């Protein structure tokens, strides 16, 4: 009798457990179905320090420098006037991932390098918005000033900031894409491949042809750069060899662009292999450009933070929208900023954006391609050190720069008519034109508005030994 009762009890427990597990399983399936995001995947690729005109499609004078990007752009929208909100990595990427101006998020300050600060945690990032919609979110970055410590990792399930080379980054991306191919994902991919130290030598041959260096120098430089155990910096070596000049630096840089393009091709091929080109929006861009002596004599090696000229803040922006013929091979000349990337992604995915973002959706500009007159002001600034402090306003036709420091150009103020003078060689500041006064006023208004847009505070943090070394290697700190 006792045994019978015991058996009955066990049977009841087993039945109860089975029903419980069936219900649990069903609810998980229902939950996943209900909560799975409907929109496509998002792959945001930021090639640090990529000048707008370093791509074949944007007019680079080296033939066939970026065949993969050029081919890709035929299937995508190429924005011909995209402005970065800062010419250095930390504030610019913060803007890209939050749609807030540097004056609002406050990560453009000498404090960022001297004391090491992280962004206010109340900020809402693109990754957080997408994670809230059940997107799988991951970042693969070469770190440095995009290290998680600055607050970049908010909203990412994984934030890999210890990648050392583009090849390593690509391998991780490849693995992740394969693993997540059936999921809905947002991946932020960042590489410093094009950033100094310039370690690609493919175009040294051209310099020999032009008699800028001789064959012996070419070989010596190649041997030095290709030796992973090199004892001094590339900059030091160029100086010691007395070939530290803009031609040599620019050609080393452009060889890096060529190398990067080959990996971009591999990324697209892998997406195609996994059938992900059918359901993945790809945004290809950069945080800022680089100067090769166009404005400041001697500024041709890793000095992008020092100003707000077009070579420093105009960047590539190419957006691939899957299954959308209207967006294939389009050119958009309307003025846009990397501040627009977040709202554009959110609008595309039908996600209601938070109220407090400063950018706009720019896919709408494709329909208005014949309407270049859309008048818009885009702002940029740099406050890298106490010697570098400038702010600028850019409209479709003109730019006004206010320089609060004295080390780099323009002196005090700059005003350029970009239609007649796209290379910004003729400073028209202090003329009495209405346009000059108007832009100066616009900038004054912006400087009052941006810090009030959201009240944010930064927090200081202690720099770890490895992070410090990484920043030293990249030339950010001494």
Kindly list the residues in this chain that would bind Zn ion in the complex (CB under 5 A): 48, 89, 287
Instruction: Rank residues 288 and 394 by Cβ distance to Zn ion and give the closer one.
Output: 288
Backbone angles phi, psi at 263, to 5 degrees: -75, -30
Instruction: Rank residues 39 and 143 by Cβ distance to Zn ion and give the closer one.
Output: 143
Instruction: Rank residues 287 and 381 by Cβ distance to Zn ion and give the closer one.
Output: 287
In whole angstroms, the minimum distance from the beta carbon of 88 to Zn ion comes to: 6
In whole angstroms, the minimum distance from the beta carbon of 49 to Zn ion comes to: 5
Q: What is the DSSP letter of 268?
A: H
Cα–Cα distance measured from residue 316 to residue 361, given in angstroms and rounded to the nearest whole number = 17
Q: What sections of 186-330 are H helices per DSSP?
A: 204-209, 215-225, 234-240, 246-273, 310-313
Task: Let me know: does 315 contact 296? Beta carbons within 8 Å.
Answer: no
Alpha carbon 240 to its chain's center: 33
In whole angstroms, the minimum distance from the beta carbon of 436 to Zn ion comes to: 31
Determine the Cα angle at 74 with ends 260 and 349, to 5°.
Answer: 90
Residue showing tokens 């209601």: 352
Give 442's contacts (C-beta < 8 A, 6+ positions apart): 377, 393, 400
| Burial bucket for residue 387 (CB in 10 Å: 0-12, 13-18, 19+) | exposed
In whole angstroms, the minimum distance from the beta carbon of 225 to Zn ion comes to: 21
Instruction: Rank residues 287 and 294 by Cβ distance to Zn ion and give the closer one.
Output: 287
Determine the Cα angle at 317 with ends 314 and 323, to 5°.
Answer: 165
Return the structure tokens found at 325. 């013929």
Instruction: Rank residues 192 and 450 by Cβ distance to Zn ion and give the closer one.
Output: 192
In whole angstroms, the minimum distance from the beta carbon of 199 to Zn ion comes to: 16
Alpha carbon 202 to its chain's center: 25
Instruction: Rank residues 84 and 366 by Cβ distance to Zn ion and give the closer one.
Output: 84
Q: Which residue is nearest to Zn ion (CB)?
A: 89
3-state SS, 150-192, equals HCCCCCCCEEECCCCCHHHHHHHHHHHHHHCCCCCEEEEEEEC
Q: 43 — alpha (psi -120 to 50), left (phi > 0) or beta?
A: beta
In whole angstroms, the minimum distance from the beta carbon of 43 to Zn ion comes to: 19
Backbone angles phi, psi at 63, to 5 degrees: -65, 135
Instruction: Rank residues 185 and 292 by Cβ distance to Zn ion and give the closer one.
Output: 292
Give 456's contacts (C-beta < 8 A, 6+ positions apart): 104, 105, 106, 119, 120, 122, 123
In whole angstroms, the minimum distance from the beta carbon of 191 to Zn ion comes to: 10
Nearest to 189 by CA among 160, 150, 164: 160
Q: Sign of the CA dihedral 63, 298, 191, 276?
A: negative
In whole angstroms, the minimum distance from the beta carbon of 162 to Zn ion comes to: 18
In whole angstroms, the minimum distance from the beta carbon of 75 to Zn ion comes to: 27
Instruction: Rank residues 190 and 200 by Cβ distance to Zn ion and give the closer one.
Output: 190
Instruction: Rank residues 89 and 458 by Cβ distance to Zn ion and give the closer one.
Output: 89
In whole angstroms, the minimum distance from the beta carbon of 100 to Zn ion comes to: 18
Residue showing tokens 């490895």: 466
Instruction: Rank residues 160 and 287 by Cβ distance to Zn ion and give the closer one.
Output: 287
In whole angstroms, the minimum distance from the beta carbon of 94 to Zn ion comes to: 11
Instruction: Rank residues 48 and 424 by Cβ distance to Zn ion and give the closer one.
Output: 48
In whole angstroms, the minimum distance from the beta carbon of 308 to Zn ion comes to: 15
Instruction: Rank residues 48 and 302 by Cβ distance to Zn ion and give the closer one.
Output: 48
Give 42's contacts (C-beta < 8 A, 6+ positions apart): 130, 135, 185, 186, 187, 280, 281, 283, 345, 349
Cis ω before 410 (30° cut-off from 0): yes
Q: Integer distance in angstroms from the first to the last C-alpha of the chain?
A: 85
């Amino acid at each position: 009798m006792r045994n019978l009762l015991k058996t009955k009890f066990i049977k009841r427990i087993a039945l109860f457990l089975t029903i419980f597990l069936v219900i649990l399983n069903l609810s998980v399936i229902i939950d996943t179905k209900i909560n799975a995001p409907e929109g496509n995947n998002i792959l945001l690729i930021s090639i640090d320090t990529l000048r707008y005109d370093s791509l074949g499609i944007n007019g680079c004078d080296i033939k066939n420098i970026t065949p993969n990007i050029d081919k890709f752009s035929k299937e995508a929208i190429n924005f011909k006037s995209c402005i970065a909100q800062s010419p250095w990595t930390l504030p610019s990427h913060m803007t890209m991932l939050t749609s807030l101006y540097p004056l609002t998020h406050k990560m453009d300050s000498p404090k960022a390098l001297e004391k090491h600060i992280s962004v206010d945690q109340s900020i809402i990032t693109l990754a957080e918005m997408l994670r809230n919609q059940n997107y799988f979110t991951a970042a693969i970055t070469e770190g440095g000033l995009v290290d998680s410590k600055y607050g970049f990792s908010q909203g990412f399930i994984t934030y890999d900031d210890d990648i050392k080379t583009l090849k390593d980054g690509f391998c991780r991306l490849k693995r992740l894409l394969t693993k997540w191919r059936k999921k809905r994902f947002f991946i932020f991919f960042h590489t410093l491949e094009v950033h100094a130290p310039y370690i690609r030598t493919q175009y040294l041959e051209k310099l020999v042809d032009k008699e800028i260096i001789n064959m012996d120098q070419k070989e010596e430089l190649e041997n030095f750069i290709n030796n992973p155990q090199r004892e001094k910096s590339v900059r030091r070596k160029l100086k010691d060899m007395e070939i530290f000049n803009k031609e040599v630096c620019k050609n080393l840089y452009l060889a890096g662009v060529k190398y990067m393009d080959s990996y971009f091709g591999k990324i697209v091929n892998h997406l195609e292999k996994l059938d992900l080109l059918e359901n993945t929006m790809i945004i290809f861009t950069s945080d800022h450009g680089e100067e090769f002596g166009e404005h400041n004599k001697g500024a041709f090696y890793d000095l992008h933070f020092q100003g707000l000229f077009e070579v420093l803040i105009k960047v590539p922006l190419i957006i691939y929208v899957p299954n959308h013929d209207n967006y294939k091979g389009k050119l958009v000349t309307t003025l846009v900023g990397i501040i627009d990337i977040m709202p554009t992604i959110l609008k595309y995915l039908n996600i209601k954006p938070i109220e407090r973002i400063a950018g706009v959706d720019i896919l709408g500009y494709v329909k208005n391609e014949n309407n270049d007159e859309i008048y818009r002001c885009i702002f940029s600034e740099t406050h890298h050190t106490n010697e570098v402090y400038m702010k600028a306003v850019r409209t479709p036709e003109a730019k006004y720069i206010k320089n609060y420091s004295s080390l780099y150009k323009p002196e005090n103020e700059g005003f350029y008519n970009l239609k007649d003078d796209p290379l910004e060689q003729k400073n028209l500041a202090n003329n009495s034109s209405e346009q000059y006064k108007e832009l100066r006023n616009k900038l004054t208004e912006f400087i009052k508005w941006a810090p009030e847009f959201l009240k944010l505070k930064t927090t200081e943090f202690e720099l770890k030994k490895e992070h410090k070394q990484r920043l030293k290697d990249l030339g950010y700190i001494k």
